[in-house]
């Protein structure tokens, strides 16, 4: 039974009331707060701990000298019977933490005590079949609203003090296979969201809404041939066809249903004033049905936040035949070369290559493998286009060939890196990339059935490349392609990473540990068992003069769903739903200061 | 994943065919009812696909379709009431069996049916092993084939004289349901030369309507879907005709559909099988199909049984 609306425990009523009253004195989240998030460590009001998504905190109170004294401050259970796959990044503002849970739930928690202030559970339609599991990756904060996307592809805005619904907006039809799992993005007073959708027939799009009332502002399809629109006074006005015209990189009418769902959302770079958003794989999965590059599938797009027009694109896997996707985050950073500042952006793709682009125009600067084994391509050409190994493209099931003949591809379709965000340290200049070493066998099947129909299908199974580890946390120098250090993990890594000016790198693993590493050497300095697997992303902030770290714990997400030989490694991990918060006691911090 | 899932899953998870090697802990929460419990409860929960005419669908809230009609007979013979468990199709049949028979969908854990309709009766499929050497569908018993199904092409005789070869559809538009097998088939047949003339619709009914409106000259779907649409159509006799097309490289030309129950529920399966055999032998099954304009072909298993019974001692 799904509980509707909000629940405010009686005992907390007075507390909430006092918070509401105090709210007058507390500033709501402003555009300036969002723009300056990375530089203001007393709050976390953006997904990515800053517009660019670097997940780098300038705080150094907690550092590699004292992290061993980090202590749990409180933990909060999300409750309910259904607990799995907590991929949310917490947000903090004025002593309140906002998180989402799986199954389209939102919680506000007192950041000092861990006490619940309110909880909201979305009413989901009967018989809903979301494409992409039940996870959610977090909220957006704007003014006095807490905004998130639901499994049935809606945006819901809640009052930050009461959890009451202020507005709702349907982004896409859940019955057609659309869903939302990513955290929305606020840019220049606009709320930006993508959509998830796994079925053929889905067309990806990015949309902007007025965050104060949910009214649409613009929408941009991510498949060539579809018209984009801007809305004025509720009226849709044509704003150019994506890619100029239909049929340039798709055969026949295939562009009408091309996939390319931007399901992970994205980030914003204020210097170039562009949204940087990745797109999913093309549909259908059998690449032999759709010769051509299939734009803009498996790409990174730079999009004008004012009207949704596409400024440039970079396609990591043209004519994707391996389900690699191109949604992984593209993170802006600057570096010096020959005395000049290079305005770059980097991404670690599902396909196993790490790309450094010129973020002003999307030009390829360099690319290199960031995983140990890539079989589907022998490398990248001067423009960053893959040099395919044609024999490693899965065959056309209709060609037959019989069972038993399989193609081995590394990385697997779950990717050298999946959704879990990497971090960039402004101190070391390294990217800290949560990656996995796995491949997949793909073969044709003579017998397959779908909804009462027989067909020639394809089967696959995912395999670890090594007996003793799948996950690898890597420190990568984007200027050289060098892996400076690596940490091997038995289970696949599925949680995000954070770097701090305290020479620390944080991440969690499915085994349940929150871990801290020396950012320069990779030495593991701290670990704490949170009781269930970590597939969320840590944050850090400062409150009452002390530095805090928070992370969601709760195993789930895609890995346990896909089974195979990987499933054997993770089947005994318990699912769950806890929000953990850690604190460096003030005394430890000052001692650390002395010892430094 | 991408997939989609890919989604997956992650994505969105992928439209690739999956299997789950791990039987989740939710299984322990799922109550599989045996025949005694079903009789005591007075209800039989039967899983049917939703919005799937002519097999199972609703008209103004009333359940309709041949699978619904057969399900009524199954419940009646047990002396219990029918409870329909409407099922949204997942990516593969294996997913549907998990959602309907042995675990429940992850959004609705524990909500399962006692029996599922329209499950292939195919030994190769039923005993298929996964990469780890485990029988993929070991928790499911598949039995009692009640229908023979195949792919079918129908054309507008006002536009085409006949369909001598699929190559015709290099020049004439043809309608299919999106993301279904005829879509993939026509997209790639003849090295993709039919792709440009392949029009995709959300449902077979919309593909048929497009043929009715002159948008396409032909359509392709499962035979029962085509027969039902033609039977319901308000059109002069003979305007729409069935083509006798072999569909090279489409895999199975025909297959059989039956019932599925949880592997522990064999005695229930025997009772349900008795009903299917009664319906077939009495001619009632053919009448149920005829009510939806469908021809009925007795599955091979019963033809041989009948031959054995009819043989002189």
Check B96 against A451: CB less than 8 A apart.
yes
Q: Which residues of A are catalytic?
A: 323
Per-domain residue ranges for chain A? 183-385
Select from B24, B92, B187 the Cβ nearest to the Cβ of A450.
B92
Report the candidate in A349, A214, A331, A241 with the shortest Cα–Cα distance to residue A295. Answer: A241
Per-residue confidence (pLDDT) for residue A499, from 0 to 100:
98
Check A133 against B187: CB less than 8 A apart.
no
Per-residue confidence (pLDDT) for residue A177, from 0 to 100:
81
Q: Are residues A119 and A7 in contact, defined by beta-carbon separation less than 8 angstroms?
A: yes
Q: Are residues A288 and A280 in contact, defined by beta-carbon separation less than 8 angstroms?
A: no
* Residue of A429 and B235 predicted with greater confidence: A429
- Per residue in A441-458, pLDDT (tens digit) is 888 777 788 888 887 777
* Residue of A158 and A176 predicted with greater confidence: A158
| Nearest chain A residue (CA) to B179 | A200
Looking at beta carbons, which residues of chain B come within 8 Å of A127? 50, 86, 88
Structural domain contains residue B256: no
Per-residue confidence (pLDDT) for residue B6, from 0 to 100:
30
Q: Are residues A440 and A505 in contact, defined by beta-carbon separation less than 8 angstroms?
A: no
- Per residue in A14-28, pLDDT (tens digit) is 444 444 444 444 569
CA distances from A566 to A3, A438, B4 (A): 35, 9, 19
Structural domain contains residue B288: no
- Look up the pTM and report it: 0.86
Gap between the Cα atoms of A345 and A282, Å rounded:
24
Q: Please give the mean pLDDT across all residues of chain A.
A: 91
Confidence grade of residue A467 (pLDDT, cut at 50, 70, 90)? very high
Gap between the Cα atoms of A279 and A300, Å rounded:
6
Q: Answer whether residue A398 shows pLDDT above 70.
A: no
Check B188 against A198: CB less than 8 A apart.
no
Gap between the Cα atoms of A564 and A431, Å rounded:
30
Q: Determine if the peptide bond prior to A411 is cis (ω within 30°).
A: yes
| CATH classification code of A183-385 | 2.40.128.630
Looking at beta carbons, which residues of chain A come within 8 Å of B92? 448-450, 457
Per-residue confidence (pLDDT) for residue B101, from 0 to 100:
94
Question: What count of Cα atoms within 13 Å lies in the side-chain half-sphere of residue A465?
Answer: 23
E strand or H helix that includes residue A543: strand A539-543
Mutate to test the interface with B, among A126, A264, A413 (most CBs of B within 10 A): A413
Sequence-distant (≥ 6) Cβ neighbours of residue B86 within 8 angstroms: A127, B47, B48, B49, B50, B56
Per-residue confidence (pLDDT) for residue B5, from 0 to 100:
30
Q: How many domains in chain B? A: 1
E strands along B88-160, which residues? 115-120, 140-156
CA distance B246 to chain A (A): 14
Q: Of A74-83, A106-115, B182-191, which one has max mean pLDDT? A: A106-115
Exposed e or buried b per residue across A140-151, where buried means at least 16 C-beta atoms within 10 angstroms of its C-beta: bbbbbbbbbbbb
Structural domain contains residue B84: no
Looking at beta carbons, which residues of chain B come within 8 Å of A323? 1-4, 6, 14, 16
Check A450 against B15: CB less than 8 A apart.
no
Looking at beta carbons, which residues of chain A come within 8 Å of B207? none
Structural domain contains residue B51: no
Structural domain range at position B208:
149-243
Looking at beta carbons, which residues of chain B come within 8 Å of A535? none
Select from B20, B105, B184 the Cβ nearest to the Cβ of A289.
B184
CA distance A29 to chain B (A): 30
Q: Answer whether residue A33 shows pLDDT above 90.
A: yes
Confidence grade of residue A132 (pLDDT, cut at 50, 70, 90)? low
- Per residue in A488-506, pLDDT (tens digit) is 999 999 999 999 999 999 9
Check A413 against B2: CB less than 8 A apart.
yes
Structural domain contains residue B267: no
Q: What is residue A416's three-state secondary structure?
A: coil
CA distance B216 to chain A (A): 14
Per-residue confidence (pLDDT) for residue A303, from 0 to 100:
98
Mutate to test the interface with A, among B1, B18, B54 (most CBs of A within 10 A): B1
- Per residue in B214-237, pLDDT (tens digit) is 999 999 999 999 999 999 987 777
Per-residue confidence (pLDDT) for residue A23, from 0 to 100:
43
Looking at beta carbons, which residues of chain A come within 8 Å of B198? 252-253
Mutate to test the interface with B, among A196, A438, A454, A464 (most CBs of B within 10 A): A454
Instruction: Give the lowest-confidence range in A104-118, A213-227, B245-259.
Output: B245-259
- Regions in chain B scoring below 70 on pLDDT: 1-30, 131, 305-313
- Per residue in A531-584, pLDDT (tens digit) is 999 999 999 999 999 999 999 999 988 888 776 788 888 988 999 999 999 999
The CATH number assigned to the domain holding B209 equals 3.40.190.10
Check B11 against A280: CB less than 8 A apart.
yes
Q: Answer whether residue A130 shows pLDDT above 50.
A: yes
Per-residue confidence (pLDDT) for residue A562, from 0 to 100:
72
Check A253 against B122: CB less than 8 A apart.
no
């Amino acid at each position: 039974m799904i509980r509707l609306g909000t629940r405010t425990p009686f005992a907390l009523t007075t507390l909430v009331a006092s918070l509401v009253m105090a709210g007058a004195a507390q500033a709501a989240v402003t555009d300036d707060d969002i723009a300056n998030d990375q530089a203001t460590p007393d709050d976390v009001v953006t997904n990515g701990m800053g517009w660019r998504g670097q997940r780098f905190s300038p705080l150094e109170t907690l550092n590699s000298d004292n992290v061993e004294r980090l202590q749990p401050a409180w933990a909060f259970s999300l409750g309910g019977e259904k607990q799995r796959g907590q991929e949310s990044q917490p947000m903090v503002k004025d002593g309140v933490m906002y998180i989402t849970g799986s199954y389209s739930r939102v919680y506000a928690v007192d950041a000092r005590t861990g006490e619940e202030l309110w909880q909201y559970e979305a009413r989901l339609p009967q018989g809903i079949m979301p494409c992409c599991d039940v996870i959610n990756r977090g909220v957006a904060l704007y003014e006095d609203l807490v905004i998130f996307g639901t499994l049935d592809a809606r945006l819901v805005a809640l009052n930050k003090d009461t959890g009451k619904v202020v507005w709702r907006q349907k982004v896409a039809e859940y019955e057609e296979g659309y869903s939302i799992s990513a955290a929305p993005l606020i840019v220049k007073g606009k709320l930006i969201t993508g959509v998830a959708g796994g079925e053929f027939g889905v067309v990806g799009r990015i949309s902007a809404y007025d965050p104060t009332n949910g009214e649409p502002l613009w929408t941009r399809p991510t498949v060539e041939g579809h018209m984009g629109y801007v809305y004025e006074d509720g009226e849709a006005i044509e704003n150019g066809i994506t890619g100029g015209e239909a049929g340039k990189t798709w055969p026949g009418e295939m562009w009408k249903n091309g996939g390319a769902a931007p399901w992970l959302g994205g980030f914003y770079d204020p210097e170039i004033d562009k949204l940087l958003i990745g797109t999913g794989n093309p549909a259908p999965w059998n690449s032999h049905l759709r010769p051509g590059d299939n734009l803009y599938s498996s790409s990174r797009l730079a999009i004008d936040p004012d009207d949704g027009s596409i400024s440039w694109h970079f396609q990591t896997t043209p004519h994707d035949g391996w389900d690699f996707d191109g949604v992984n985050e593209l993170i802006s950073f600057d570096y010096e070369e020959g005395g000049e500042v290079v305005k770059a952006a980097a991404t670690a793709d599902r396909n196993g290559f790490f790309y450094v682009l010129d973020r002003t125009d999307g030009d390829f600067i360099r690319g290199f493998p960031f995983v140990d084994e890539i079989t589907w391509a022998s490398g990248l050409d001067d423009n960053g286009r893959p040099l395919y190994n044609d024999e490693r493209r899965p065959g056309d099931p209709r060609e037959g060939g019989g069972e038993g003949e399989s193609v081995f591809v590394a990385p697997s379709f779950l990717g050298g890196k999946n959704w879990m965000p990497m971090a960039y340290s402004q101190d070391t200049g390294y990217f800290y990339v949560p990656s996995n070493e796995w491949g997949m066998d793909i073969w044709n099947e003579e017998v397959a059935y779908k909804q009462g129909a027989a067909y020639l299908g394809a089967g696959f199974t995912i395999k670890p490349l090594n007996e003793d580890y799948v996950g690898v946390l890597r420190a990568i120098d984007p200027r050289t392609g060098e892996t400076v250090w690596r940490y091997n993990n038995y289970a696949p890594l599925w949680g995000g990473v954070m770097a701090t000016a305290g020479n620390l790198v944080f991440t969690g693993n499915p085994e349940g540990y929150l871990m801290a590493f020396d950012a320069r050497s990779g030495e593991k300095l701290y670990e704490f068992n949170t009781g269930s697997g970590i597939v969320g992303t840590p944050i850090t902030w400062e409150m009452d003069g002390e530095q805090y770290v928070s992370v969601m714990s709760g195993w789930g997400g895609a890995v346990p769903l896909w089974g195979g030989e990987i499933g054997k490694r993770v089947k005994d991990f318990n699912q769950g739903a806890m929000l953990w918060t850690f604190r460096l006691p003030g005394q430890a911090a000052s001692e650390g200061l002395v010892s430094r | 994943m991408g997939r989609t899932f890919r989604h997956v899953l992650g994505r969105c998870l992928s439209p690739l065919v999956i299997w789950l090697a791990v039987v989740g802990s939710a299984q322990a929460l799922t109550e599989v009812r045996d025949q005694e419990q079903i009789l005591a409860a007075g209800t039989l929960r039967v899983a049917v696909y939703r919005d799937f005419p002519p097999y199972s669908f609703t008209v103004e809230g009333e359940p309709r379709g041949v699978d619904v009609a057969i399900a009524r007979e199954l419940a009646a013979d047990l002396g219990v009431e029918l409870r329909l468990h409407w099922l949204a199709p997942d990516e593969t049949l294996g997913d549907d069996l998990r959602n309907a028979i042995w675990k429940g969908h992850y959004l609705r854990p524990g909500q399962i049916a006692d029996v599922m309709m329209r499950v292939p009766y195919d030994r190769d499929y039923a005993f298929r092993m996964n990469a780890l050497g485990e029988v993929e569908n070991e928790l499911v018993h598949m039995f009692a084939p009640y229908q023979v199904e195949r792919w079918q092409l129908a054309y507008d005789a006002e536009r085409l004289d006949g369909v001598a070869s699929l190559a015709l559809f290099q020049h004439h538009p043809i309608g299919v349901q999106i993301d279904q097998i005829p879509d993939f088939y026509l997209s790639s047949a003849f090295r993709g030369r039919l792709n440009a003339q392949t029009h995709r619709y959300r449902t077979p009914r919309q593909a048929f309507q497009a043929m009715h409106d002159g948008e396409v000259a032909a359509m392709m779907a499962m035979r029962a879907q085509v027969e039902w649409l033609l039977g319901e159509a308000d059109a002069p006799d003979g305007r729409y005709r069935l083509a006798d097309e072999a569909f090279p490289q489409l895999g199975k030309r025909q297959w059989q559909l039956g019932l599925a129950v949880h592997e522990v529920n064999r005695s229930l399966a025997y009772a349900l099988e008795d009903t299917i055999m009664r319906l077939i032998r009495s001619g009632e099954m053919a009448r149920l199909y005829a009510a939806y304009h469908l021809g009925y072909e007795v599955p091979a298993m019963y033809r041989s049984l009948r031959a054995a019974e009819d043989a002189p001692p």
